[in-house]
Amino acid sequence: MSSTRESSLIGLIGDGVDPSLTPPMHEREADHHGLRYLYRPIDIGRIGRTADGVGDLLRAGRDLGFTGFNITHPCKQVVLGHLDEWSDDVDRLGAANTVVIVDGRLVGHNTDFTGFAAAVRAGLPGADLTRVLQVGAGGAGAAVAYATLQSGAAHLHIADLDADRAAALALTLRDNFPRAEVSATSADADAIARAAADATGIVQCTPIGMHHHPGTPFDPSILTPNQWVADVIYRPVETALLRAAQARGCRTLDGGRMAVGQAAESFALFTGLTADADRMRAHFLDMIDAGR
């Protein structure tokens, strides 16, 4: 951690990250703490690199005095082969989104899952995690499922159009959380309706609902008012699914909370300071409103 350093230099490594809201979120929060803090996107597509080159970028960053990096698609898994140390959670998840440089060593963390867990605590306090249905088993889904089980979910059902992907994720999760009951199916309408019938909460982890993929991944009329509904999508912050869920009386959590949660948790790892997640969320929502 670098709270005693005079300044911090952070990079975000991934494809298409130039428009990311994470750098301005960090920099604004650092301003509030009186830190000298620069956070730059390092868009591998723009500079003609591939995911395999993430190790070279990290080592160059270490040699150039960077404090740390956030890592995003498509580098979160491949980065593991270039770390000197990593947390147990990174080991279990098989993915890292944060690398802190400590005495020249590249130390990996995952704040996608801690960010989602923090988002649930902040945005859905007291949410009943007894039986959770998760739709979508991709990269975001893996972190969300891990967070949900670590937060105490007793039963987790994962549905994905790619049933093999859902089954593979369930298998890994059963190994990591042997006391929980984890099941998986395809995401056809009947399977989702069956799993939703006795779910206490539902998490949406597919790209359906984004500006470029409008709609809902399942028919929201299956929702009942006693259920909570979380979405990982944050462009738009209020998805069609969340609007429909609210209209049916459900408590909801938008994907902006997770995006801010991971940023706040990474900020703490980079600086040793506690970020004000509410303040970061207000800035995040301002940027979204401004069309950034």
- Structural contact between residues 9 and 38, judged by C-beta atoms closer than 8 angstroms: yes
Q: Which of 42, 79, 140, 184 binds ligand NAD (CB under 6 A)?
A: 140
Q: What amino acid occupies position 167?
A: A
Please count the residues of the chain: 292
Residue nearest to ligand NAD (CB): 138
Binding region for ligand NAD (CB under 6 A) out of 83-91, 132-140, 221-229, 276-284: 132-140
| Interactions with ligand NAD, residue window 202-221 (CB under 6 A) | 205-208, 210, 217
Nearest Cα neighbor of 108 from 78, 135, 147 is 78
Q: Which of 25, 149, 170, 187 binds ligand NAD (CB under 6 A)?
A: 187
- The minimum distance between CB 137 and ligand NAD, in angstroms, equals 5
Q: Which of 16, 24, 55, 139 binds ligand NAD (CB under 6 A)?
A: 139
Residue 175 sits at φ, ψ, to 5 deg, of: -65, -40
Under the binding rule (CB under 6 A), the answer on residue 147 touching ligand NAD is no
- The minimum distance between CB 83 and ligand NAD, in angstroms, equals 20
Active site residue 217: no
Give the active site residue among 28, 76, 82, 281.
76
- Structural contact between residues 89 and 34, judged by C-beta atoms closer than 8 angstroms: no
Residue in this structure with the two tokens 């967070």, named with its chain if needed = 147
Q: Which of 232, 264, 269, 277 binds ligand NAD (CB under 6 A)?
A: 232
When the beta carbons of 234 and 270 are compared against ligand NAD, the nearer one is 234
CA–CA separation, 134 vs 292, rounded Å? 29
> CB-based burial of residue 99 (10 Å sphere; 0-12 exposed, 13-18 middle, 19+ buried)?
buried
Nearest Cα neighbor of 217 from 191, 183, 182, 189 is 189
Under the binding rule (CB under 6 A), the answer on residue 12 touching ligand NAD is no
Under the binding rule (CB under 6 A), the answer on residue 68 touching ligand NAD is no
Element holding 40 (H helix, E strand): strand 36-43
Under the binding rule (CB under 6 A), the answer on residue 258 touching ligand NAD is yes
Under the binding rule (CB under 6 A), the answer on residue 53 touching ligand NAD is no
Helix (H, G, I), strand (E, B) or coil at 170: helix
Q: What Cα–Cα distance (Å) separates residue 155 from each residue in 134, 172, 185, 242?
A: 11, 15, 14, 23
Under the binding rule (CB under 6 A), the answer on residue 16 touching ligand NAD is no
Interface residues with ligand NAD (CB under 6 A)? Answer: 135-141, 160-162, 165, 187, 205-208, 210, 217, 232-234, 255, 258-259, 262
The residues annotated with a catalytic role in the active site are 76
